[in-house]
Amino acid sequence: MVVNKIAKYLNQHLVGNVFDSEEILAKYAGDRSVVKVTPKMVVVPEDTNDVRKVVRFVSQLAKKDVRLELAVRGSGLDKTGADLGKDILISMENMDKIQEIDERSRLVRVQAGVKLGTLNQALGLVGLTVPINADPEDTIGSLISNFITDSYAGKNNGIYYYTDCLEAVISTGDVIQTTRYSKRGLAKKEALTTPEGALYRDLHTLIDDNYDLISDLRSRSTVDCTGYQMLTQVLREQGHTFDLMPMFFAAQGTLGIITEVILRCEVLPESSAHFAAAFSNVKDAVEYASSIKSLNPLEINLYDARIFGKSADAGKDPNIFSKKFSNGWMLLVAFNDSARKSRRKIAKCLRNLPETAAAIIEDEGNMTDFERIKTALNSFKNDNLRGERAPILDDLYIPLDKVPEFVKTLKSQEEVYDMELPLMGSTAANNYCIRPDLRLNSVEGRQIAVRLIKDVAKILNDHEGSLTGGSPEGRTKAIAAYPELSDAEVELYTKVKDVFDPLEIFNPSIKLGASLKDTVKNLRTSYLEDITR
């Protein structure tokens, strides 16, 4: 077979390994999304040079009209199917080295496959951290590619703020290191006769030619990761600088493959102090959350109390509030200032609590109860378990003042679908999720999944929200996100893709290239645990 010959050829030229056995391929056919795509081979590179060789090989084949698509995978935690591919899947699992920690400058250089939890454990030994509250198994490359909005982002600004620069392999197999260039530095870069020079020239021309549209995108208040909206951050007029780095955020591996990253760190803060507050309705909860934002909490997370009712049915009942709030809403608030300052802030929060609400402060006597809140949430989300609540509506952007009306409209959809759709998420970062209870092993369940994505996208749009505010579209969200774009926006993003990837080797089946037909065809029919690594 041709595939076997390609796998053998690559194995002969790479330090890492290439696999094409059915058993191994099956383990890379799924992620946390509702999609399943089996690759023809899996490449596990050991270093940047391995990635370069694979990309260059595929690029040379494409010039001869032999098309192979390249997809990139971190830990397989993507919820939109963006880290799946039908031809060659590059798994960054062995590119997981922490290359250098500069304690004095608070910088760390890592390979893109290093996991957030592993990195923060190492940084913790020298009193530093990258303050991102994402899955500890998620890789740094994935956090950037999927531009994850974490619940700490309201205070700490998220992964973009902590990324200093990155290294990436572009479609020719060349390596670039991003830097913020002045006008003079950009002119020197554009004068190069290399593929990197052409990339800078073409992108700069594209930005100049679409100045008005890009200015309009930059001025919009709605947060949206659809397409390549980070194009708006490349040219910074105030400082007269040009930086390619933003283009790799939310690109999901479609513009190049991130191989190394330099991150800024913070001093490891004191442990967080928490309190929970219960409200009879979402309006009161939202108004209260808005009122305490000025105190700069680490987190303000909102939960429909029905979530805990479902968890209680499974034996995971946090049981910290009376039954009168069982159909209400809960806020879980955290501060990570000094212990004394956090106590003062919590005291101020409680003085402003409405009389109709109730609150409990975490202390040594009830730590177990607060831990049960976390386990109850994990029980409800049911990640990685049979009969899981499908993550088709995670990372939604909703402006805080629009949440009550959004919830009201969402209630009407519960009647349409005969299904509870409780909302949860971060009011500080305006990032929310809805986990419907679906059975993807039935045709009806898969049909409902597609309809829900479209219906919720429309409701979000009506409430100044976005389906892709907290992470980009991949395969699943693309079916509803792109119909909302103007022709001019689609044309702009298509040109961006062409500048970076003219031969369309970087996963052209996601984002712009995703289609309803292909997404529906690839919806998995088995449970999540059966297909993930």
User: Domain with 252 in it: what CATH number?
Assistant: 3.30.465.10
Please report, in angstroms and rounded to a whole number, the separation of the first and last CA atoms in the chain. 26
Q: Place 425 in a pLDDT band, splitting at 50, 70 and 90.
A: very high
**What are the percentages of helix, strand and coil residues in the chain, rounded to 5?**
40, 20, 40
Domain final residue, candidates 362, 381, 400: 381
Q: What is the pLDDT of residue 442?
A: 87
Reported as a single tens digit per residue, the pLDDT across 367-410 is 888 888 888 888 888 765 555 788 999 999 999 999 999 999 99
CATH number for the domain that contains residue 18:
3.30.43.10
The pairing of strands 70-73 and 358-361 is: unpaired
Within its chain, how far is the Cα of 184 from the centroid? 35
Contact in structure between 81 and 510 (CB atoms under 8 Å): yes
Listed in sequence order, the residues at least 6 apart from 70 whose beta carbon sits closer than 8 Å to its beta carbon are 54, 55, 58, 85, 87, 88, 90, 253, 257, 505, 506, 507
**Residue 12 or 324, more confident:** 12
Residue 62 lies in a domain: yes
Residue 323 lies in a domain: yes
**Would you state the structure tokens that stand for residue 224, as one six-digit string?**
């949206």
Tell me the H-state helices in 220-354: 282-292, 306-313, 339-351
Count H helices and E strands in the chain, helices first. Answer: 19, 20
- Cα separation, 30 vs 532, whole angstroms: 5
Same domain, yes or no: 247 and 354? no
Reported as a single tens digit per residue, the pLDDT across 428-437 is 999 999 999 8
Residue 331 lies in a domain: yes
Which range marks the domain in which residue 359 is found? Answer: 270-381
Sign of CA dihedral 303, 308, 309, 314: positive
Contact in structure between 519 and 479 (CB atoms under 8 Å): yes
Same domain, yes or no: 102 and 147? yes
Q: Report helix, strand or coil for 333.
A: strand
**Would you state the structure tokens that stand for residue 337, as one six-digit string?**
């200032």
The pairing of strands 423-426 and 431-434 is: antiparallel
Contact in structure between 387 and 310 (CB atoms under 8 Å): no
User: For the whole prediction, is pTM greater than 0.75?
Assistant: yes
The beta strand positions in 11-60, using DSSP E, are 17-19, 41-44
261 strand-pairing partners:
110, 166
CATH number for the domain that contains residue 354:
3.30.70.3450
Same domain, yes or no: 89 and 198? no
Q: Place 326 in a pLDDT band, splitting at 50, 70 and 90.
A: confident
Question: Which among 139, 26, 143, 12 is positioned nearest to 89, based on CA atoms?
Answer: 26
Burial of 442 (0-12, 13-18, 19+ CB in 10 A): exposed
Give me the sheet containing 175-177, strands edge to edge.
98-102, 107-111, 257-264, 163-169, 175-177
Residue 330 lies in a domain: yes
- Cα separation, 526 vs 176, whole angstroms: 40
Same domain, yes or no: 152 and 250? yes
The 3-state secondary structure of 366-412 reads CHHHHHHHHHHHHHHHCCCCCCCCCCCEEEEECCHHHHHHHHHHHHH
Reported as a single tens digit per residue, the pLDDT across 96-153 is 999 999 999 999 999 999 999 999 999 999 999 999 999 999 999 999 999 999 999 9
Q: What is the pLDDT of residue 237?
A: 73
Reported as a single tens digit per residue, the pLDDT across 45-78 is 999 999 999 999 999 999 999 999 999 999 999 9
Domain final residue, candidates 348, 365, 381: 381
Residue 410 lies in a domain: no
- Cα separation, 458 vs 481, whole angstroms: 9
- Cα separation, 446 vs 406, whole angstroms: 24
One-letter amino acid of 311: S
Residue 238 lies in a domain: yes
- Cα separation, 307 vs 305, whole angstroms: 5
Same domain, yes or no: 263 and 309? no
Q: Report helix, strand or coil for 244.
A: coil
Same domain, yes or no: 317 and 260? no
Same domain, yes or no: 244 and 330? no
Same domain, yes or no: 106 and 184? yes
Total domains present in the chain = 3
Q: What is the pLDDT of residue 529?
A: 54
176 strand-pairing partners:
168
Where do we find the tokens 């409680």? Answer: 350
- Number of other residues whose CB lies within 10 A of the CB of residue 305: 18
Same domain, yes or no: 169 and 112? yes
Same domain, yes or no: 118 and 208? yes
Same domain, yes or no: 104 and 136? yes
Reported as a single tens digit per residue, the pLDDT across 19-54 is 999 999 999 999 999 999 999 999 999 999 999 999
Q: What is the mean pLDDT of residues 362-366?
A: 89
Reported as a single tens digit per residue, the pLDDT across 162-180 is 999 999 999 999 999 999 9
- Number of other residues whose CB lies within 10 A of the CB of residue 161: 11
Domain final residue, candidates 326, 361, 381: 381
Listed in sequence order, the residues at least 6 apart from 11 whose beta carbon sits closer than 8 Å to its beta carbon are 17, 18
Residue 30 lies in a domain: yes
Same domain, yes or no: 206 and 116? yes
- Cα separation, 383 vs 158, whole angstroms: 23
Residue 411 lies in a domain: no
Contact in structure between 288 and 402 (CB atoms under 8 Å): no
